[in-house]
Chain A
Amino acid sequence: MPWTRNDMAARAARELRDGFYVNLGIGIPTLVADNIPEGMDVTLQSENGMLGLGPYPDAAHVDADIINAGKETITELAGTSYVSSADSFGMIRGGHIDLSVLGAMEVAENGDIANWMIPGKMVKGMGGAMDLVAGVRRIIVLMDHVSRDGTPKFRKSCTLPLTGSAVVDMLITDLAVFARADRSARFRLIECAPGVDPDQVRALTEADFDI
């Protein structure tokens, strides 16, 4: 039984630690916010210039001047601060953010990530993704194990233009979790979804990994 998107987000949330400052990418990673363990002090950063994101507003508290990096209305908390984009990316590029959870189209066995561009299709832009993978201390990727046509997305090398090179520390798919001790180490399969065994994971993965 593959993991659901929320299962994947919950697995990523297990990597959170008390006191962490965390940036969550758009899409499945935003579900991590709903899985922060009760009582754990985790501060969410949004690269458009907000440190300390609250939940979505109720109808009475929608404020056009409070949005997250996905341009969604959001709320502030006691202790929130606002900064310019330059200061926000200073936090990111300067290595002050403990963890970022991002989506991806492909990850390679050396930790390369591609998540911003498909040549020949409309290019929307990288936004803050390249800065995040270059600057945040630990990068966790959440993605489906294979694409809709069954092509493995964890590959020997990425076929799509890179967002960053050798930057992924942990990969969580709907079938398995891969981790490595540092950015020059090989990935190791550390968990499988219920009812999934390592041989099945191997068969659906192009990348080489340890078990």
Chain B
Amino acid sequence: MARKLHDTARDALSGLLFDGMTIAAGGFGLCGIPETLIDEIRRSGVKDLTIISNNAGVDDFGLGLLLQSRQVRKMISSYVGENKEFERQYLTGVLELEFNPQGTLAERLRAGGAGIAGFYTRTGVGTIVADGKEEKIFGGERYILETGLTADLAIVKAWRGDEKGNLVYRKTARNFNPMVATSSRVTVAEVEELLPAGAIDPDHVHTPSIFVQRMILAERNEKRIEKRIVRGEV
């Protein structure tokens, strides 16, 4: 069996990183983000990155760490509200930003990974999101053309993975990870729990092994909570 499992994040990313590259990252907020791989990308010093990710982390956690170290040139995201360093870099022109509606971003990644060059959606019709995009009428309704997105590298976080590369996500930590995993020829997955091949029910696999080229056991599972709301404390 081709060996996908690597001992360290450094090994797993070896030979994959280059300045100016595009990286797609799974996660929603701080939930289901590849913490270990982000740490290693920061350590590597690779720069001028374009990052495709729904959010940009917070100042000192998640993708915020790569903003802090000035490794990011452009973000393709739907919401970046929780990050002061992001705001500072954006307002001073250091950081470029492309906003996509959240569902459009998810579908662009899904389409890119599925070999679909573009799709028509009603989302964004009549707004600045439609600027410069082809508009077409289907069944009397207006739609705009959005294009598929691919990346040079995809990084995802899964709950369980088997050594073949099949992945299972846990609860809302699934979010963008399945589409991100398909969006590149090279996907590196970090998993919380590593299992032998056959330990995952084939009917329960979320991301099949074909979409995972390299994997590691996650070294960092801090899973920071952005808004801890507890009944009775509200």
Contact = CB atoms under 8 A, between A and B. Distances in A.
Nearest to A74: B229
B134 to A, nearest CB: 17
Contacts, number: 175
* Residue among B87, B101, B171 with the highest chain A CB neighbour number at 10 A: B101
Interface residues of A toward B: which range?
Answer: 35 or more
Contacts of A162: 126-128
B106 A164 contact: no
B104 interface: yes
A39 interface: no
Interface in B76-92: 77-82, 87, 90-91
Nearest to A63: B171
Interface residues of B toward A: which range?
Answer: 35 or more
A115 to B, nearest CB: 11
Contacts of B12: none
Contacts of A73: 225, 227-230
A93 B122 contact: yes
Nearest to B97: A123
A132 to B, nearest CB: 8
Interface stretch (B64-72, B172-180, B196-204, B212-220): B172-180
A199 interface: no
A126 B234 CA distance: 26
Contact of B79 (A62, A82, A124): A124
A82 B171 contact: yes
Nearest to A165: B126
Interface string B170-209: 1111111111000000000000000000000000001000
Interface of B: prevailing SS: loop
Contacts of B79: 124-127
A122 B234 contact: no
B223 A65 contact: yes
A86 B179 contact: yes
Contacts of A47: 102-103
A204 interface: no
A127 B174 CA distance: 17
A84 B102 contact: no
A129 B79 CA distance: 10
Contacts of A135: 103, 122-123
B103 A128 contact: yes
A35 to B, nearest CB: 16
B58 to A, nearest CB: 10
A148 interface: no
B54 interface: yes
Interface string A77-104: 0000011111011001100000000000
Contacts of B128: 161-162
A168 to B, nearest CB: 13
A63 B228 CA distance: 9
Interface stretch (B3-11, B16-24, B25-33, B44-52): B25-33
Contacts of B78: 125-128
B41 interface: no
Given A84-B179, A128-B78, A65 B230 contact: no
Contact of A86 (B30, B107, B173, B225): B107
Contacts of A71: 28-31, 82, 226-227
Interface stretch (A3-11, A51-59, A172-180): A51-59
Contact of A85 (B77, B102, B206): B102
Interface string B93-117: 0000101011111110110000000
Contacts of B129: 126, 130
8 contacts: A67-B172, A67-B225, A71-B28, A72-B226, A72-B227, A83-B174, A85-B102, A162-B127
By Cβ-Cβ distance, the 7 closest A-B pairs, closest first, are A89-B103, A165-B126, A131-B103, A124-B81, A125-B79, A64-B223, A85-B106
Interface of B: 28-32, 54, 77-82, 87, 90-91, 97, 99, 101-107, 109-110, 121-129, 159, 169-179, 206, 223-234
